[in-house]
Amino acid sequence: MACVRRQSELSRSQELFQHARSQKVIQTNVKLLGLEGDPDLQFLLQGGDLLKVRSRSWKKTRFLQLQEDCKTMYRKSDKLFKSHQTFPIDDISSVRIGRQSEGLKKNTEEQLESRCFSIVFKSRRKNLDLVASSHEEAKQWVRGLEKLLSNVNNLSRQETREHWIFNCLKKADKDKDEKLNLSEVKRFLRLINIEMDDSYAEVLFQNCDKSKSGYLSGQEIKELYDLLSQRVEIDVIYQEYAKTTGFMSAHNLVEFLMKEQRERASLADAHSIIDKYEPDEQVKQKKLLSKDGFLMYMQCPEIMILNQEHKELYQDMQQPLSHYFISSSHNTYLLEDQLKGPSSTEAYIRALMKSCRCVELDCWDGSDDEPVIYHGYTLTSKILFKDAIQAIKEYAFKTSNYPVILSLENHCSVEQQAVMARHLSSMLGSALVTAPLGDGMPTNFPSPEELKGKFLIKGKRLNKLEANFTSEAAGDDTDVTEEEESSDETDEEQKKKSKLKLAKELSDMVIYCKSVHFNGFEDAQKNLSFYEMSSFKEGKAMKLAKESANAYIHHNVEKLSRVYPAGSRTDSSNYNPVPLWNAGCQIVALNFQTSCSEMDINQGRFLVNGKSGYILKPAFMRDPSSEFDPNTPTPGDWRQPKTLHVMVISAQQLPKVNQKKSSIVDPLVKVEIYGVPDDMAVKETTAIENNGFNPSWNESFQFGVSVPELALVRFVIEDYDSASSNEFVAQYTLPFTSLKMGYRNMPLLNRNGDLLPSAGLFVHIMVLNA
């Protein structure tokens, strides 16, 4: 009995130790997040039961809890092999209170409104729709998660890195004794994406094991962390400019800023940096910058590769609408492929939250006199037209205040078109443009600034807009040609195409974006008004952009052009938008639901100007007499030859491609230039074996860029594989004209275009006149 009692006491002692250790880990993470003593965070750490909703018949209780790392949610399932599901806080895009999601609206009763909330993910995974036991509890879940999200997103790069390292150390400590033996150190190295030769790992371990105890603890673990996180490349830069008794003076810092970073800088600027980033008060009082202070400064937003002024709205938004590239989506309602994938209002929300300013609605007759949206003649699911409009109304202007174009592909009967018009009018109200702005018949588009907060309808119209200002009525003829995009028909099939009856109520809502057939540039110049626009299948648009680029540019000065993917892209793949932008096409519609390099380029194009979804075209593409041709760039205002020097120095904390513990990336970096054909180029570094934590390349490249205003630079990191094609790791794309010179950090994005919180690439950029 005594033995049993002793074992019980020992077990209880271990439990108490584990609890104390767990509390210590939590306290460390809570302190880092700045949420000490916060009741909402304590509520999340305690966790609780919630009802998970998938359908009207599938509603099951799930236990949800924030883990001690304060960055992972644990979800307990009653499934035999799925009892420990987790998801990172970083994966959460937003938390929505109430029955806002499609699933909750469809599968729960209205009286549960105040108890419902949804966790929306950045990736293409489904929402987590949940019901709490009370209104107050639902509010506390949402409040706690939003607070946690905000604080995690506001961590500095240094804090994010420390948080991640700390939790990797915790995971490596398998026996939870707050010590690391050699085996656990090797486990830690693999967790942070380093594969080390055993002998080297042993040398590293022995160098840190000052006590010669066979394990690392306390200060020894900190020394291990310091050795691994040391930024040798930044130390070298610091030593070059630290000319004042081993420190960097304000004068030294000004020299660095002007010589390396090519920035105008004064002593006042240097003093401000020292005050903000120097951690040692005694050093700060002497107006000096230590190595630690310089390291902190080199990880601040001012050192990012993207010109911080371009992050905000910086372009003239008073030009006519046709003078802008407009972020545009094709078949916006689809979450996956074009044949059998689901349609969802969530797809509209995701596109709009990414600053998409032109969304497509593929409209067909539905039951109960309610029009539906889906990809006609396929097995894609259907959503109600009115639900899509409601979602668009709610999310259209959350990311950008600038106008949203609703591109209607209309296959409905006259009766259901009238229903569409009623929904548009009643739901969008005064935000819907139903008459030209100002007095009298306009001769040009209004500007994005004048159209702020407004919706424009793109579709067929029964008559000319000029008829609104004369006694001419639409007449009895309600026939128009069916929508161009309904299929990829041949010319013969185009002639046989049936006529579509058009409801006057819907027709009258088409003001600035009347869909017409394209019969050539000469015909368009002679016979089409500025508001009459054509949609081009990618193949035809690419042909025009290659063979008649200058004529296309002239056409797009005064008129809008929309380009859409070929019908053969049933997998929702995308085409390269760059040649179409080079030809001045404004509405280059892509499948936003597909992760690919083309969407990376699109995201890079619209990264700047406050993520407004509108980018002002260069002046030479807004001039009706422009002689610019991207395929044969002759001398002109557009030709401003530059030489781009890029030194790829190092990367930090790259994600694993394969989540297996033993899998370590062999990263290489590709630098790609997109723009006019003469400027297109790709160069790549060598691969670094078994190091995704802090790989170092120090490789330099040089590129010639002749038309910088149309160029984009894409940095892509791949996991080298000698036996097959390389795997994508991360990327970042930005306009050439938004590059900052000097030593620069860049954030990295995953395949879906979402930020990888801890990862980064360090480069040196120099742009010179050629």
400 annotated ligand-binding residue: no
283 annotated ligand-binding residue: no
69 annotated ligand-binding residue: yes
- Does the annotation mark 84 as catalytic? no
61 annotated ligand-binding residue: yes
Active-site position among 163, 310, 323, 330? 330
Active-site position among 375, 411, 555, 764? 375
Report how far residue 203's alpha carbon sits from residue 447's, in angstroms, rounded to the nearest whole number: 66
DSSP string, 595-659: -SHHHHHHHHHTSSGGG-SEEEPPGGGS-TT----TTS--SSTT---EEEEEEEEEEE-PPPSS-
662 annotated ligand-binding residue: no
62 annotated ligand-binding residue: yes
How far from 375 is each of 339, 343, 359, 380, CA to CA, in Å?
8, 8, 14, 6
64 annotated ligand-binding residue: yes
417 annotated ligand-binding residue: no
Placement of tokens 């989540």 in the chain = 659
- Does the annotation mark 517 as catalytic? no
485 annotated ligand-binding residue: no
91 annotated ligand-binding residue: no
78 annotated ligand-binding residue: yes
535: which strand partners?
562
57 annotated ligand-binding residue: yes
Placement of tokens 């049936």 in the chain = 498
How far from 178 is each of 175, 202, 317, CA to CA, in Å?
8, 19, 58
CA 327 to chain centre: 13
Type of residue found at 290 = S
Residues 373, 343 contacting (CB under 8 angstroms): yes
Residues 68, 22 contacting (CB under 8 angstroms): yes
360 annotated ligand-binding residue: yes
65 annotated ligand-binding residue: yes
143 annotated ligand-binding residue: no
What ranges make up the beta strands (E) of 417-468? 455-459
Residues 364, 376 contacting (CB under 8 angstroms): yes
638 annotated ligand-binding residue: no
Placement of tokens 């998801």 in the chain = 87
54 annotated ligand-binding residue: yes
Type of residue found at 678 = D
719 annotated ligand-binding residue: yes
119: which strand partners?
95, 128
SS3 121: strand
Report how far residue 133's alpha carbon sits from residue 270's, in angstroms, rounded to the nearest whole number: 55
362 annotated ligand-binding residue: yes
Type of residue found at 95 = V
Which residues does the annotation place in the binding site? Answer: 52-79, 331, 360, 362, 409, 458, 460, 535, 562, 664, 666, 690, 719-721
Catalytic residues: 330, 375
Annotated binding site for substrate: 52-79, 458, 460, 535, 562
- Point out the annotated binding site for Ca(2+): 331, 360, 362, 409, 664, 666, 690, 719-721
